[in-house]
Amino acid sequence: LKEEERRTAVPGVATGLAVTGAGGDVLYIEASLADEETGETGVTLTGQLGDVMKESARIALSYLRSRGAEMELPVGDLKNRGVHIHVPAGAVPKDGPSAGVTMTTALASLLSGRLVRSDVAMTGEVSLTGRVLPIGGVKQKLLAAHRAGITTVLIPKRNEPDLDDVPAEVLEQLTVHVASDVREVLDWALEPATTGQTVAA
Amino acid sequence: LKEEERRTAVPGVATGLAVTGAGGDVLYIEASLADEETGETGVTLTGQLGDVMKESARIALSYLRSRGAEMELPVGDLKNRGVHIHVPAGAVPKDGPSAGVTMTTALASLLSGRLVRSDVAMTGEVSLTGRVLPIGGVKQKLLAAHRAGITTVLIPKRNEPDLDDVPAEVLEQLTVHVASDVREVLDWALEPATTGQTVAA
Amino acid sequence: LKEEERRTAVPGVATGLAVTGAGGDVLYIEASLADEETGETGVTLTGQLGDVMKESARIALSYLRSRGAEMELPVGDLKNRGVHIHVPAGAVPKDGPSAGVTMTTALASLLSGRLVRSDVAMTGEVSLTGRVLPIGGVKQKLLAAHRAGITTVLIPKRNEPDLDDVPAEVLEQLTVHVASDVREVLDWALEPATTGQTVAA
Amino acid sequence: LKEEERRTAVPGVATGLAVTGAGGDVLYIEASLADEETGETGVTLTGQLGDVMKESARIALSYLRSRGAEMELPVGDLKNRGVHIHVPAGAVPKDGPSAGVTMTTALASLLSGRLVRSDVAMTGEVSLTGRVLPIGGVKQKLLAAHRAGITTVLIPKRNEPDLDDVPAEVLEQLTVHVASDVREVLDWALEPATTGQTVAA
Amino acid sequence: LKEEERRTAVPGVATGLAVTGAGGDVLYIEASLADEETGETGVTLTGQLGDVMKESARIALSYLRSRGAEMELPVGDLKNRGVHIHVPAGAVPKDGPSAGVTMTTALASLLSGRLVRSDVAMTGEVSLTGRVLPIGGVKQKLLAAHRAGITTVLIPKRNEPDLDDVPAEVLEQLTVHVASDVREVLDWALEPATTGQTVAA
Amino acid sequence: LKEEERRTAVPGVATGLAVTGAGGDVLYIEASLADEETGETGVTLTGQLGDVMKESARIALSYLRSRGAEMELPVGDLKNRGVHIHVPAGAVPKDGPSAGVTMTTALASLLSGRLVRSDVAMTGEVSLTGRVLPIGGVKQKLLAAHRAGITTVLIPKRNEPDLDDVPAEVLEQLTVHVASDVREVLDWALEPATTGQTVAA
Ligand SMILES: [Ca+2]
Ligand SMILES: [Ca+2]
Ligand SMILES: [Ca+2]
Ligand SMILES: [Ca+2]
Ligand SMILES: [Ca+2]
Ligand SMILES: [Ca+2]
Ligand SMILES: [Ca+2]
Ligand SMILES: [Ca+2]
Ligand SMILES: [Ca+2]
Ligand SMILES: [Ca+2]
Ligand SMILES: [Ca+2]
Ligand SMILES: [Ca+2]
């Protein structure tokens, strides 16, 4: 089992791509729901997230709170169960809006109990209405995905021109999907529901 | 479908005009209401908004909370459903009072389920009683609207003299409306309610 | 209709006088009450108010909460309806204790539904027991009121000696009232209740 | 009617003594209780109070909350009615622990409806068990009281030696009381309850 | 009656020892419980306490909340009655973990209604499980206790070696107790319950 | 009884390993639950913990709130009983993510009433899904454990290569366990439940 398969082996985890001081990197967005019996409510965000990234988490939550029912997600679960979004590694500061699609996907996975496809990494800002907005660092992010053995990446449609900057030998080993609405991302990245599958968290 | 049509294709989104370091720019104000089942209440403001712009959002909300019922807006929806106002792009700091009319319009669109006219961009401070107060940067904002292919702009009545500074070739391609009360803005900018239309968020 | 008449044409607005970097200026204190259906409670203060001015708003509210019932104001309305006090222009920082009488008057107007006299501007600190305490800048404030076409001003009784510094030609065009208790201000500045008048906010 | 009589003419106001940059000064501690109908609860402290002075207010409140019932004060009024303590002038920063006795006296006056003796000014830190602890600036404070026409002052018993520093001609025109427990202060400084007197705030 | 007897003459007060800029000093930890009728709940900490000392108060409270019932303390009183811990003098900043035993003792005295022995001063950090951990400044603290006329001191068992640094002529006039668990401290420092004694606060 | 046995002699305490300015050190994570009668709810974190370490505590709690029921932990106890996590010594600032496994173990011990093995010290970051992530300072931490007389240590599986840096003479006196999931840690580190054992806090 490869690292990204182990990390995304439960619902609530999606693989993202980030730009760091030393090029790009793969990161995991983890989401959990408190057991209703614990009485925990509210939202907890950890992983030394900066202001912009915390706002991305708030946007992902509000998007699902306002649109999730249309997608048949059990959004009522958000009422009595605390949501926690964490981005390891715990000591590394992270910021920026480009984890929006990854956060939305992790939360939709958590609510639906459907796993996120383990071969996929994604990047893209999400607006409150679900538009996928362009981000920076496409080249570094695709190189990082490739280095990590990921075979499929999702980027915003408006970032398609940036694929010209990615070395051809990397691009030919990656399947690149583009999206302009986060609903397309969810349709594509979530595994089908398994009959009898239990929501894991 | 043009960009501003795609962005304002759901109730709760209005197009504004801002002054930036590099002239003027078009921005979108997005508003959503949490599904009642999610138990979410309260107000969330994102988009790296400065103090003054956050206060504009509070003023827009209080205006509708105190005057909205007179306009037959279902203000009771604000009771049990969290309101979120977001201004993409998520990483760009924004400030100033001139998004007041745009915020009020986005919220009235959200509550009424009536779309905002997609050919329109607007700018203007709003007072707590609904007065539309003058703003700065009329020239840069109209140039930005023109560049973005917008055909109709709304400015505060007290900014009419500033139209003298706008190049004639730009002005003749724009329809400019003026308003001194935000109620005039709402009457003019919101599309008629469609029979059977569902509130989208 | 003159500017100050338009601004004070609804209950909840009173005209104040401030000292600014460039002499004195007229400002408007606007107050609103959320519709009970909106579920909004609590106090919101906007207009880039400094610490001292925010405290003035708290004092005005506490004065009415403890003494308002004696004046037959419906103070129970403060229980289930959020109060918002705003001082345009939204981007201009403001501070100091001298808006105390204006804030108390705006709130009493809001609660009673009685308009504030539109020809009047006022200045004065208010203590928690309703004493009107002296303020600075009487000369600049009266010059500003005069420039703005205001005909009647109210100042603290203990500031009477400062009238000596105001140019005679200005003073003779102004009616100056003095007060040592804020109850005198309210009796004098609020228009009589109109039969059948509706509380506007 | 002298200034200090006007200021303490309602229950809830006591006269204190402070050290300022320019010697000593008289200050008034004002306390109010919100009308129960307003739904206001909690504690509000205004007057640009520093950390130590805010803590003095908390200590005065806790002292009365834990010991007030023994003194037959209606401490249950604190449950459903917001308490506000204000120290004019609103723009002048104030700090230090020596207003403890004055704050405790103002609050006890407010709860009991008994006026504070208008000829009295006081100074002294109060501990949570009601001990009156020594303070600084006895000389400057007594000179200030004398200048303001006050005839009676209260100081902590442990400050008696500091009376040696006060000019004899001032001391002989002042009646000086000392106390080591704040209960002695209350017994001495509060006027007898008037039959039929109404709690004023 | 000596000072430390006056200060500890009510339940809820214990005598501690601190290191200051000028050697050591005696300090009093005072605790009170709000009368249930006041509706006050929660925890208030005053006396210009630093972060570490505030955490000591939280630890003392949690220790009693989790272990107090085993010691037959009426911990249910903490539910509906606000707790206040104050450390005079109000204007002197204080910090450090060594007041842990004193805070735990003051709170246990308050809950049990048993006085703290007035001849005793104590110092020691307390862990969340009640372990008494070593502290600094044993020499200065014992000198201060001696100067203040205190005859008995309690120190952590792990500080016994530090007694070598205390001058022999001071040590022979002090009874020194050591403890490694705060339960030993409580057994030893609290006076027996008096029949018919009333909880004082 | 050795120090680490005394410290872990009650449920809710686990032994961790930290890197300090002066090499490595042993630290204890203490957790308690407030008695339900005290009305205390919520989470308290003390011990001068830095941001990253506070987030580790939040992650440990969320992990147990979402997964604890699967492990038959009585997570409903977290609903009505305040949780306190403390890390002595109280005055020493601590930070970093490597106490994650220790915090999770202390909390699981507290909930289950099962003691943590007293011969064991542990280090490792924990993700929200329970993955044990690698940490720094393996060499210094194992040296510190050895110095403290600890015989068994647990480290993250991904830190196995770092064992090469530990002196052979130390390694041969330590039993080193590795784990990649925190559930393995709990299974291994918690003593069997004693029949009739009482939850201690
Ligand atoms: Ca369950
Ligand atoms: Ca930032
Ligand atoms: Ca619904
Ligand atoms: Ca600002
Ligand atoms: Ca209504
Ligand atoms: Ca200030
Ligand atoms: Ca009443
Ligand atoms: Ca301070
Ligand atoms: Ca009672
Ligand atoms: Ca500190
Ligand atoms: Ca119990
Ligand atoms: Ca930090």
The answer to whether D11 and C129 have CB atoms below 8 angstroms apart is no
B178 lies in a domain? yes
Is there a contact between D128 and E34 if contact means CB atoms under 8 Å apart? no
Q: Distance from the CA of E93 to the center of ligand 9, in angstroms?
A: 33
Q: Is A196 domain-assigned?
A: no
Give Cα separations from B61 to C44, D24, D146 (angstroms).
11, 48, 54
What radius of gyration do chain C's Cα atoms show?
16
**F90 has a chain E CB within 8 A of its CB:** yes
The per-residue pLDDT for range B93-150, each reduced to its tens digit, is 999 999 999 999 999 999 999 999 999 999 999 999 999 999 999 999 999 999 999 9
* pLDDT for the residue B4: 67
Residue C168 has phi, psi (to 5 degrees) of: -60, -40
What average pLDDT does range F95-102 have in this prediction?
Answer: 97
E-state strands within chain B: 13-20, 23-33, 43-46, 83-86, 120-122, 125-126, 132-133, 152-156, 175-179
Retrieve residue C12's tokens.
């909840």
Residue of B32, B109, B118, B141 marked catalytic:
B141
Judging contacts by C-beta atoms under 8 Å, the chain E residues touching residue F84 are 58-59, 62, 66, 128
Catalytically active residues of D, by annotation: 98, 141
Collapsing DSSP states into helix, strand and coil, what is residue D19? strand
Any chains having at least 3 CB pairs less than 8 A from chain E are D, F
> What tens digit of pLDDT does each residue of A16-70 get?
999 988 889 999 999 999 999 999 999 999 999 999 999 999 999 999 999 999 9
Say if the Cβ atoms of F31 and E128 lie within 8 Å: yes
Q: Which residues of E touch D127 (CB under 8 A)?
A: 28, 30, 86, 88
**Contacts of residue B72 in chain C, CB cutoff 8 Å?**
none
Residues of A in contact with F181 (CB under 8 A): none
Nearest to B66 among C7, C48, C201 (CB): C201
Of E55, E62, E76, the CB nearest to F32: E62
Whether F124 contacts chain A with CB within 8 A: no
F148 burial type by CB count under 10 A (0-12 exposed, 13-18 middle, 19+ buried): middle
CB neighbour list of residue E195: distance below 8 Å, 6 or more residues apart:
none
pLDDT in tens, B175-193: 999 999 999 999 999 999 8
Residue D66 lies in a domain: yes
* CATH number reported for the structural domain that contains residue A144 in this entry: 3.30.230.10
Point out the residue among D55, D65, D127 whose CB comes nearest to the CB of E34. Answer: D65
Written as one string, the DSSP assignment of A163-200 is GGGS-HHHHTTSEEEEESBHHHHHHHHBPPPPTTPPP-
* Residues 6 or more apart whose Cβ sits within 8 Å of residue D166: D138, D139, D142, D143
Chains contacting A (3+ CB pairs below 8 angstroms): B, F
Number of domains in chain C: 1
- Closest chain E residue to F93 measured between Cα atoms? E52
Does E200 reside within a domain?
Answer: no
- Which residues on adjacent β-strands are paired with residue A178? A155
**What integer is the mean pLDDT of D80-103?**
96
Per-residue pLDDT reduced to its tens digit, F141-179: 999 999 999 999 999 999 999 999 999 999 999 999 999
Q: What's the rounded mean pLDDT across residues E100-129?
A: 97
Closest of E85, E100, E80, E114 to residue E17, by C-alpha: E100
The residue from C98, C109, C112, C118 that is catalytic is C98
CB A135 within 8 A of CB A124: yes
pLDDT digits (tens, 9 = 90+) for C69-80: 999 999 999 999
Distance (angstroms) between ligand 7 centre and the Cα of C165 equals 45
Q: Which ligand is nearest to the CA of C81?
A: 5
pLDDT at E201 over 50: no
Q: What separation in Å is there between the alpha carbon of B94 and the centre of ligand 12?
A: 26
Cα separation, C74 vs C60, whole angstroms: 15
E118-122 average pLDDT score? 94
Point out which residues pair with B120 in neighbouring strands.
B152
Let me know if residue B38 belongs to a domain. Answer: yes
Do residues C104 and D62 make contact, with C-beta atoms less than 8 angstroms apart?
Answer: no
With an 8 Å Cβ cutoff, are F129 and A48 in contact?
no
Ligand nearest to the CA of E198: 9
Residues E17 and E123: beta-carbon distance below 8 Å = yes
- Residue D94 covered by a domain: yes
B chain contacts of residue A78, beta-carbon cutoff 8 Å: 38-40
- How would residue A72 be classed by pLDDT, with cut points 50, 70 and 90? very high
Q: Which residues surround ligand 6, an ion (CB under 5 A)?
A: C 51
- Whether F48 sits inside 8 A of E66 (CB atoms) is no
Provide the pairing of β-strand A125-126 with A132-133.
Answer: antiparallel
**Nearest-Cα residue of chain D relative to residue C134:** D89
Residues of F classed as catalytic:
98, 141
Indicate whether A172 belongs to any domain: yes
The domain of B143 spans: 3-188
The per-residue DSSP string of D20-46 comes to: ETTEEEEEEEEEEE--GGG---SEEEE
Compute the half-sphere exposure of residue B49: CA atoms within 13 Å on the CB side of its CA.
Answer: 26
Phi, psi of E51 (to 5 degrees): -55, -45
Chains D and F touch (3+ CB pairs under 8 A): no
> Does an interface of 3+ CB pairs under 8 Å exist between E and A?
no
* D195 within some domain: no
